[in-house]
């Protein structure tokens, strides 16, 4: 009998699988794969007709829009910069929802794959901007939160673990995730900024207790919780972000998701309680002498060249920044500190040159972008847009504007003038 039932179960499972396959086939048959791609992308919607009847893609507008948004953010940062206090040493847990909802394919190929791809880019960007910070990864699956990487400063180990995650199932649980992260973040030193970033696919949360209590606990522990939703706004997430001072955003599509995610890379304004400077002990290791064989403390291997020597315990580490495995001293080099300085001295946002000024005095204005020498004279139907630095009054094209504010953090015009620097 036993034999029979197990067979029966097997049969049923096979039948189910067949049904599922059939379902998929029905979907596939109604539309070819290539058709599907176009149907979902709706590429024709991103075309625009100009006055001469030519078709243009409207990504131009998207660029301008993104720039506009960034400018607003800069402005708000500038007002806050009157007292430049930013959380430069951050301890961030990224919580990735791998519940059933993450297998939906409104993001291609699935939400999970799209999230993994962009989280990888985010981790690299994060460490580029915050070399003294740490990240940990947590996943929610089957209602259980699990820590997949501990807080650490090496992007590669996080990305490797993240990429090895597969499959999503079960429900999502906000409370379990917050409880777990709160437990970990409690122990970190007080100068660090505790942050949680939830990438939440589900519309529900399946909790063992009262999630509101957990939110209060997070607030007490001064953990800044931010959520990026992939489906729709959920009250409990909004409440969480409001209570803990984080931001709650909903991704409209994959590009929007990427933008929203990368907005979390620059350091957030410091919470007032932390504005008092704490002094942290750090070491500036010297490079190991050439040709000396030593055993490195991170890989436990004998290595010949390169590497750095911890000034306190003389152990060898392979790369900076890191924490010494032996004595726990934070090891940095001066460029790592320098990398964070642009957060302390943000460059002033450029102002758009008004059309009135352009029209009234076109003959006196420069015809090329000061940065890249690109022509600023409108040609054909390209809109005549340019920006000017309020300090040095040089004109720049929009591409340079974005590059200068997002990557370079120097105004070429101000840097090319001696007297503006002596002020």
Partner 1 sequence: MASAPSKQYSDDVSVVMVLLDTNPFFWSGANNTTKVSFSSFLNHVISFLNSVLLLNQLNQVVVIATGYNSCDYILDSSTSESINLSLGNGKMPALCSKMLQKLEEFLIRDEQLSRENLPTGITSSLLSGSLSLALCYIQKVLRSGRLHPNPRILCLQGSPDGPEQYVAVMNAIFSAQRSMVPIDSCIVGAQHSAFLQQASYITGGVYLKPPQLDGLFQYLSTVFATDLHSRSFLQLPKPVGVDFRASCFCHKNTIDMGYICSVCLSIFCQQRKKCSTSDTKRNSIEIYNHHLLPVAASG
Q: Does 419 bind partner 1 (CB under 8 A)?
A: yes
Report CA torsion sign: 339, 198, 228, 39: positive
Q: Does 333 bind partner 1 (CB under 8 A)?
A: yes
Q: Which of 66, 236, 271, 282 binds partner 1 (CB under 8 A)?
A: 282
Q: 3-class SS at 149?
A: strand
E strand or H helix at 147: strand 144-152
For partner 1, the closer of residues 229 and 283 by Cβ is 283
Residues in region 174-233 near partner 1 by CB under 8 A:
191-192
For partner 1, the closer of residues 115 and 400 by Cβ is 400
Q: Does 338 bind partner 1 (CB under 8 A)?
A: yes
Q: Does 128 bind partner 1 (CB under 8 A)?
A: yes
Residues in region 365-384 near partner 1 by CB under 8 A:
369-374
Q: Which of 183, 208, 328, 335 binds partner 1 (CB under 8 A)?
A: 335
Q: Does 283 bind partner 1 (CB under 8 A)?
A: yes
**Measured distance CA(13)–CA(19) in Å, rounded:** 10
**Measured distance CA(110)–CA(100) in Å, rounded:** 11
Q: How many CB atoms lie within 10 A of CB 223?
A: 23
Strand-pairing partners, residue 331, are: 283, 322
Site string for partner 1, 130-169 (x = CB under 8 A): ----------------------------------------
Residue 367 tokens, joined:
């015809």
User: With contact defined as beta carbons under 8 Å apart, do 218 and 269 qualify?
Assistant: no
Q: Which stretch binds partner 1 (CB under 8 A): 26-34, 205-213, 233-241, 276-284?
A: 276-284
Report CA torsion sign: 221, 226, 230, 233: positive
For partner 1, the closer of residues 52 and 82 by Cβ is 82
Q: 3-class SS at 127?
A: helix
Q: How many CB atoms lie within 10 A of CB 288?
A: 20
Q: Does 280 bind partner 1 (CB under 8 A)?
A: yes
**Whole-angstrom Cα Rg for the chain:** 26
For partner 1, the closer of residues 111 and 405 by Cβ is 405
User: With contact defined as beta carbons under 8 Å apart, do 184 and 192 qualify?
Assistant: no
Q: Which stretch binds partner 1 (CB under 8 A): 14-22, 42-50, 137-145, 282-290?
A: 282-290
Residues in region 287-316 near partner 1 by CB under 8 A:
287, 290, 311-312
**Measured distance CA(57)–CA(228) in Å, rounded:** 28
Residue 303 exposure: Cα atoms within 13 Å on the Cβ side: 18
Q: Which stretch binds partner 1 (CB under 8 A): 140-148, 248-256, 270-278, 356-364?
A: 270-278
**Residues near partner 1, by CB under 8 A:** 83-86, 88-89, 128, 191-192, 270, 274-287, 290, 311-312, 329, 333-335, 337-342, 344-345, 369-374, 399-400, 403-404, 407-412, 415-419, 421-422
């Amino acid at each position: 009998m036993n034999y029979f039932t197990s067979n029966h179960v097997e049969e049923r499972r096979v039948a189910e699988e067949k049904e599922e396959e059939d379902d998929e086939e029905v979907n596939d048959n109604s539309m070819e794969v290539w058709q599907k791609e176009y149907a979902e992308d709706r590429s024709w919607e991103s075309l625009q007709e100009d006055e001469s009847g030519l078709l243009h893609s409207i990504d131009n507008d998207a660029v301008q829009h993104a720039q506009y948004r960034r400018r607003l953010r800069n402005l708000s940062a500038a007002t806050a910069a009157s007292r430049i206090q930013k959380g430069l040493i951050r301890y961030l847990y990224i919580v990735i929802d791998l519940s059933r909802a993450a297998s939906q394919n409104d993001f291609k190929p699935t939400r999970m794959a799209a999230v993994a791809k962009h989280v990888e880019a985010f981790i690299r960007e994060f460490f580029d901007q915050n070399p003294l910070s740490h990240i940990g990864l947590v996943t929610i699956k089957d209602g259980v939160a699990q820590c997949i990487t501990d807080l650490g400063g090496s992007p590669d180990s996080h990305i490797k673990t993240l990429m090895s995650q597969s499959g999503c199932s079960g429900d999502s649980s906000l409370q379990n995730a917050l409880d777990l992260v709160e437990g970990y973040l409690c122990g970190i030193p007080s100068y660090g900024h505790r942050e949680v970033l939830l990438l939440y696919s589900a519309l529900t949360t399946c909790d063992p207790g009262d999630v509101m209590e957990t939110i209060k606990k997070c607030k007490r522990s001064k953990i800044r919780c931010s959520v990026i939703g992939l489906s729709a706004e959920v009250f409990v997430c909004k409440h969480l972000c409001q209570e803990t001072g984080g931001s709650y955003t909903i991704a409209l599509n994959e590009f929007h998701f990427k933008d929203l995610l990368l907005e979390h890379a620059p350091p957030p304004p410091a919470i007032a309680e932390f504005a008092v400077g704490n002094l942290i002990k750090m070491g500036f290791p010297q490079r190991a002498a050439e040709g000396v064989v030593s055993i490195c403390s991170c890989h436990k291997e004998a290595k010949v060249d390169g590497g750095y020597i911890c000034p306190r315990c003389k152990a060898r580490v392979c790369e900076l920044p890191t924490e010494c495995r032996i004595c726990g001293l934070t090891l940095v080099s001066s460029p790592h500190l320098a990398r964070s300085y642009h957060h302390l001295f943000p460059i002033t946002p450029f102002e758009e040159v008004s059309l009135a000024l352009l029209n009234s005095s076109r003959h006196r204005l420069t015809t090329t972008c000061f940065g890249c020498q690109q022509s600023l004279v409108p040609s054909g139907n390209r809109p005549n847009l340019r920006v000017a630095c309020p300090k040095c009054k040089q004109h720049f094209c929009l591409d340079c504007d974005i590059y200068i504010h997002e990557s370079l953090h120097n105004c070429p015009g101000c840097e090319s003038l001696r007297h503006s620097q002596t002020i």
